[in-house]
Structure 1
């Protein structure tokens, strides 16, 4: 038997030699779906061992032609998850000429879901991978929000997409987590008169910062409820109106120095404030 070697888009060399039957997997993406299905199917044949040759990122007819030739030489078969019609048709035509068996893994499901939705599929390669990438970006943003919550590490301010600043109980943490689910990396810094704001805050571009303010009476009510939840007396300095006014005055000075937009969160749900922040973020050229 003639040995044929050729390279995939990843630079790997695929051979047509194996002691087991060979199944060639053609995909216009990574090819993990095809491999999973093939291995699951092969397991139904007494654990039937097959040699899988995965050829990912197929975007031209030459690779298809090479694969068909290799499959013909080894009396193997081809399975594919390509969604581009032109490449599908070319593969089926070439495989038919060479008498190579071919299995369309995605086709029946696309047809079935197309009937369900009553519309044609996009037929764009790599959409699942993009969804996976969106998921991992979301996870990364959530981990970022947790790590740089409440000013824990000022170094995160320079890596954040958005920095929220304001006094305690202005919804900085809930906003950070909500925005993280939109794949935005958010850090937040509590502003307290006795604690100097970190120098990194003044190094962040003003358009990336959002100042949060709130009505003093509403903040007083929120803090009183917080103290009750903690089993503490509502007379603590934390809920003292004079103290609250002092904090808000200090916060206003810092926000003015930063030069960032200000949002009054009084009587606003987290979702409402987040939507305002997202609008500011988009106008500033931020990408979700």
Structure 2
């Protein structure tokens, strides 16, 4: 017995991700009344279009298309109409008003959106970099990084590293502990790409107490001891002074606010 469900064809001169997402969003509104979504990618010539329309004629079908090249787009629209097939131009109603408002002609080049995904891959690379060089695990990353964050524990080094990585910035970070001599690499790179992070003793004390509670550790651990925290902060200040790096106090600052300050510093240093 033939399935009478409506099918959706997605036709694109590139991968077709945009049209497929729209088709999925529409389909989900109709429970099981709409059947399969079939995608046709890299449709660049009229012969391919003829084959798709012939296939659509054999079934109950709606076509969603993202074709940007004028001649091919008009041809596809025409043959769909001639064969009484519902075909929806997804980009046309957006491109035309933009053309009128900007006074510019669209490029009409297939796959431009796909080329832009290089930004996405750069972001993934930056995130992987932040994970690899988090917490001083490999000091070799300091020389490769766009920025290196240094500071005592609980000064938001890792959250800031991940936030900045999502902005395509490669970040390494190094915890400062009085008993552990910093890796020599931190003194071999330009102070302009190092940012010191500090916090108020009271805020650190509260944060660390909560951290110990979450870990099920007794709150009288030296990790949250105020005298110990003061000793760590004094040690960090000496390192900051030795490196001559800018220092940001993160107490009462949101991650986004601190990140924007870091980005501003990086931008100024790169001028």
Name the TM tier (shorter chain). 0.5 to 0.7
The one-character-per-residue Cα deviations of 1:55-82 (angstroms, maximum 9, x if unpaired) are xxxxxxxxxxxxxxxxxxxxxxxxx855
Correspondent of 2:247 among 250, 259, 262: 262
User: Post-superposition shift, 1:119?
Assistant: 3.5
The one-character-per-residue Cα deviations of 1:9-34 (angstroms, maximum 9, x if unpaired) are xxxxxxxxxxxxxxxxxxxxxx7449
Tell me the distance in 2 between the aligned counterparts of 1:148 and 1:44: 53
Q: SS at the partner of 2:177? A: coil
The one-character-per-residue Cα deviations of 1:201-225 (angstroms, maximum 9, x if unpaired) are 1112111110001111111111111
Q: SS at the partner of 1:119? A: helix
Tell me the distance in 2 between the aligned counterparts of 1:210 and 1:182: 17
Tell me what 1:57 maps to: none
User: Post-superposition shift, 1:259?
Assistant: 1.3
Structure 2 unaligned regions, length at least 5: 1-12, 17-39, 56-66, 78-88
Tell me what 1:73 maps to: none
Q: SS at the partner of 2:101? A: coil
Tell me what 2:41 maps to: 36
Tell me the distance in 2 between the aligned counterparts of 1:106 and 1:168: 61
Mapping of residues 1-288 of structure 1, within 5 Å:
32-33=14-15, 36-38=41-43, 42=51, 81-82=68-69, 102-103=72-73, 108-115=89-96, 119-120=101-102, 123-124=106-107, 127-285=112-270
Tell me the distance in 1 between the aligned counterparts of 2:146 and 2:94: 38
Structure 1 unaligned regions, length at least 5: 1-30, 47-79, 83-87, 93-101
Coordinate RMSD, CA, aligned: 3.2
Tell me if the contact between 1:144 and 1:187 (Cα under 8 Å) persists in the aligned partners: yes
User: Post-superposition shift, 1:285?
Assistant: 1.6
TM-score with structure 1 setting the length: 0.64
Tell me the distance in 2 between the aligned counterparts of 1:266 and 1:232: 24
The one-character-per-residue Cα deviations of 1:161-188 (angstroms, maximum 9, x if unpaired) are 0100000000000000000110100000
Tell me the distance in 2 between the aligned counterparts of 1:122 and 1:242: 67
Tell me what 1:19 maps to: none
Larger mean Cα displacement after TM superposition, 234-243 or 114-123: 114-123
The one-character-per-residue Cα deviations of 1:91-115 (angstroms, maximum 9, x if unpaired) are x6xxxxxxxxx55699954431135
Tell me if the contact between 1:193 and 1:247 (Cα under 8 Å) persists in the aligned partners: yes
Tell me the distance in 2 between the aligned counterparts of 1:219 and 1:184: 27
